Chains A and B, each alone.
Chain A
Amino acid sequence: MKIASRHLVAAFALLGLSGLAAPALAAGGAEHPPAQKWSFSGPFGTFDRAQLQRGFKVYREVCSSCHGLEKISFRNLSQPGGPGFTEGQVKTLAAEYKVKDGPNESGDMFERPGRPADRFPAPFPNAEAAKAANGGAVPPDFSVIAKARTYERGFPMWLIDIFTQYQEQGPDYIVALLNGYEVAPKGVTVEAGLHYNKYFPGNKIAMANPLVAVIDDNGKPNDPGFYTDGTPVTREQVARDLAAFLMWAAEPKLEERKHLGAKVMLWLLLLAGLLYFTKKRIWSRLEGAH
């Protein structure tokens, strides 16, 4: 009996978790992104406020002309668990944007300065305009992109991931992609308007290397004072900061979730312990109990 139960447990563990392979978004000849170290990984992970602020700067100055952030409001930037801007900073920042509003009393739409409650304005008025400006490809919105990108972990890594809590495929992929632009290998023709990237599925991506706006081809920053907090301006650093910011944008309640999780798990553990001994006590009343 005891042995049978143990076998059942092992088999069910296997069965319950069979074939949980992640979708192969980054399949198709692309290399696996190297794993980065993230402050927000693990059960007690939190975002690095300064990193999120730097990442926001990268988004704003490099990405935002093509990629929207339509689910994020300016006010989110000052909420707990986020980049930690002050409400004053957010007000000033929002006012720098022009937001379409209306209709007013005379029935006309009008533009006004942004307010903290506004969402980030979309870079293009509609998908057709986005296509026309980008050679037929619509630049994806960035609100949940860090959770919408992954790569196949393969067996047995996906199984091990359950216990290590590795789940940063998205940010890892973003960092890799931004550092994955290369000269196409011999024999690979890259059509006009496409660019070779060793981490992109299929290797041909419509987006040109966006980080040239910050770092030149020799790896030197265009503006050494890009970061005001003294962080070195390297391609890896810029990519990591952006990826961290996008992870926060995709999962703004990550810190709240992990904090609550610790309390709930501790409480359940205590309850389980008490119930275990209660159960033992009650069952000990029986003759031949086990």
Chain B
Amino acid sequence: MAEHHSSYVPKTGIERWIDARLPIIRLMHDSAVSYPVPRNLNYFWTFGGILMFMLVAQIVTGIVLVMHYTPHVDFAFASVEHIMRDVNYGWLLRYMHANGASMFFIAVYIHIFRGMYYGSYKAPRELLWILGVVIFLLMMATAFMGYVLPWGQMSFWGATVITNLFSAIPVIGDPIVTWLWGGYSVDNPTLNRFFSLHYLLPFMILGVVVLHVWALHHVGQNNPTGVEVKNVAKDTVPFTPFATVKDLFAMVCFMMVFGWFVFYHPNFLGHADNYIPADPLKTPAHIVPEWYFLPFYGILRAIPDKLGGVVAMFAAIAILAFLPWLDTSKVKSGKYRPTFKIFFWIFVVVSVLLGYTGSQPTDKVVLALGGRTILDMVGFAQILTVMYFAYFVIALPLLGLFEKPKAVPASIADSVLGDAKAAK
């Protein structure tokens, strides 16, 4: 909180010496020990810590994998198999890294939807939210380039399809694609630059995460009531031990889900095609991106025009950054917004269904009557795309004007103690 004063008291001579010169222990104490958090946070607020853990896990496993990987079209696939077979615990490192990407996205989607439900993007947290959108974009770029590195069939063809999107830009599109590829097709130069960027971007993510956490600790956490902290003593608890132990418990539970996939189902979240070495002459029957890109891929394919599809896909992500101003409601938390709740859940379902359309062939029939196709996958995706954007540009602006919200508790403490009394 802005008005939160440091409670750190250096106890030893060394601590006092350091504190007078570089107050780094004070900084750590203030942000991880005495930092006040609303006492009514539920378990959806543990995903920030889980995401931090995932980022570190990805960086650590990635650094070791790089020691054994060869970024060359002739050796990349073989070097990944070398990691799986000959490197001590190489299989564990690779499966952790590959499944870790999926776990990272599961956590980030929960984190984003939590923010959307409880209105965490509203004043004074607009910059905090926008930094989050930037992290999300960087994550997508990193994950995409990482998937190219094993140089399997899906790596190669995924890279071809996605980089080709830029050719939709008028006039300069084709030169841009050639520039991205470093040649006239996806080839060794492409693999090399993707490798370089895949190593760079996580550290950029880390940088933006620092800003994200800084902004968070400046404005303080939102909470399920959406009511700001009024009395630090009554409404909050110190981060340590309260939030620390809760975050740790949630993190260990999340690690069990992670472990389930790593140890028992390591290839479930990947594609079998990526165990076939890349072959520029053989296109796979279906080119499908990783699951976490599917809703956006669904939007891309919903628009018949190539440029239109690319614009819609990027707009679907970019529009998140405008959420603080599209939502006109004065009430933050969806808990007190009965009509908003309905639209929110429709939006969640629409996002899931968009993912489904992205995973299916475009000509697949969704609805047929008497042998005549009424709705195919593209048509279905078009309806869902309209609904996706309507949530942002129609539902959210209008709901704030017409919806009658329920009474909001006077303070966080009131809400917690009221609940406790009601339970008795």
Q: List the interface of chain A (C-beta within 8 A of B).
A: 1, 4-5, 7-8, 11-12, 14-25, 27-28, 43, 71, 76, 140, 143-145, 147-150, 161-162, 165, 167, 169-170, 201, 250, 252-253, 256-258, 260-262, 264-265, 268-269, 271-272, 275-276, 278-279, 282-283, 286-290
A253 with B114: CB separation less than 8 A: no
Contacts of A169 in B (CB 8 A): 272
Residue B18 interfacial (CB < 8 Å)? no
Contact B78 A144 (CB under 8 A): no
**113-141 of chain B: CB within 8 A of chain A:** 113-114, 117
CA A150 to CA B275, docked complex, whole Å: 11
Contact between B84 and A253, CB atoms less than 8 A apart: yes
B62: Cβ under 8 A from any A Cβ: no
Q: Assess whether A272 is in contact with B263, with CB atoms less than 8 Å apart.
A: no
Would you call B1 an interface residue if the criterion is a C-beta within 8 Å of the partner chain's C-beta atoms? no
**Interface size class, chain B:** 35 or more
Give which listed residue, B39, B113, B259, B359, contacts A20 with CB less than 8 A. Answer: B359
Contact (Cβ within 8 A) A288 B359: no
Q: Select one of A7, A28, A257 contacting B285, CB under 8 A.
A: A28
Nearest-Cβ distance from residue A205 to partner chain B, whole angstroms: 15
CB distance from A290 to the nearest CB of B (A): 6
B383 contacts chain A at the CB level, 8 A cutoff: no
- Counting from the closest, the 5 A-B pairs by CB-CB distance are A261-B263, A288-B420, A19-B359, A148-B275, A18-B355
Give which listed residue, A8, A258, A290, contacts B419 with CB less than 8 A: A290
Which chain A residue lies CB-closest to B415? Answer: A1
Verify B85–A252 contact, CB threshold 8 A: yes
Q: How far is the CA of A260 from the CA of B113 in the complex (A)?
A: 34
Inter-subunit contact A283/B242 (CB<8 Å): yes
| B272/A258 in contact, CB under 8 A | no
For B237, list chain A residues within 8 Å (CB). Answer: 286
A5/B81 in contact, CB under 8 A: no
Can you give 27 contacting A-B residue pairs, CB < 8 Å? A5-B42, A11-B349, A19-B355, A20-B268, A23-B154, A25-B272, A43-B264, A71-B78, A76-B85, A147-B275, A150-B272, A162-B265, A165-B265, A167-B268, A201-B285, A253-B84, A257-B263, A258-B264, A261-B264, A264-B259, A265-B263, A268-B255, A282-B241, A282-B242, A286-B237, A287-B417, A288-B421
Residues of B within 8 A of A258 (CB): 263-264
Q: Give the residues in chain A near B420, CB-CB below 8 Å.
A: 287-290
Interface segment among B20-28, B66-74, B246-254, B308-316: the answer is B246-254
- Residues from chain B with a CB closer than 8 A to the CB of A269 are 256
Residues of chain B within 8 A (CB-CB) of A276 are 249
Contacts of B365 in A (CB 8 A): none
B157 to chain A, nearest CB (A): 11
In the assembled complex, how far is the CB of residue A39 from the closest CB belonging to chain B, in whole angstroms? 16
Q: How far is the CA of A279 from the CA of B241 in the complex (A)?
A: 9
Within 8 Å CB of B245, what residues of A? Answer: 275, 278-279, 282
- With A and B bound together, what is the CA distance between A216 and B242 in angstroms? 72
Q: Any chain A CB within 8 A of the CB of B291?
A: yes
In the complex, whether B307 has a CB less than 8 A from a CB of chain A is: no
Interface: B211 (CB within 8 A):
no
Q: How far is the CA of A268 from the CA of B356 in the complex (A)?
A: 33
Bound-state Cα–Cα, A261 to B263, Å: 5
- Asked whether A271 lies within 8 Å of B224 as measured between CB atoms, the reply is no
Tell me whether B402 is interfacial, beta carbon within 8 Å: no
Check: B351 CB closer than 8 A to any chain A CB: yes
Question: Can you list, as one digit per residue, whether each of B72-110 has a CB less than 8 Å from chain A (1) or not (0)?
Answer: 000000100100110000011001000000000110011
Contact between chains at A23 and B265 (CB < 8 Å):
no
Q: Which residues of B contact A268 (CB under 8 A)?
A: 252, 255-256, 259
Partner of A165, one of B92, B253, B264, B273: B264
**Interface pair B272/A23, CB less than 8 Å apart:** yes
Q: Which residue of A lies closest to B294 (CB)?
A: A19
| Bound Cα distance A170, B353 (Å) | 28
Q: Does B207 contact A (CB under 8 A)?
A: no
Assess A19 versus B348: contact at CB under 8 Å? Given A264-B259, A272-B256, A276-B249. Answer: no
Cβ–Cβ contact B423 & A19, under 8 A:
no
Q: Check A275/B272 contact, CB under 8 A, given A8-B44, A268-B255.
A: no
Chain A residues near B91 (CB-CB < 8 A) = 253, 256-257
Which listed residue, B154, B224, B286, B295, touches A1 by the CB 8 Å rule?
B224
> Which residues on the A side are within 8 Å of B359 (C-beta)?
18-21
Among residues of B, the one whose C-beta sits closest to the C-beta of A270 is B252
Given contacts A282-B241, A290-B416, contact A23 B273 (CB under 8 A): yes
> How far apart are the CA atoms of A11 and B345 in the complex, in Å?
8
| A162 and B268 in contact, given A21-B359, A288-B420 (Cβ under 8 angstroms) | yes
CB-based contact A22/B291 at 8 Å: no
| A140 to B: closest C-beta gap in Å | 8
| B349–chain A nearest beta-carbon distance, Å | 8
Distance to closest chain B CB from A166 (angstroms): 9
Q: How far is the CB of B283 from chain A (nearest CB, A)?
A: 12
Residues of B within 8 A of A24 (CB): 285-286, 361
Q: CB-CB < 8 A to B265: which residues of A? A: 161-162, 165, 167
A279–B358 alpha-carbon span in the complex (Å): 41
A71 to B90, CA, bound (A): 15
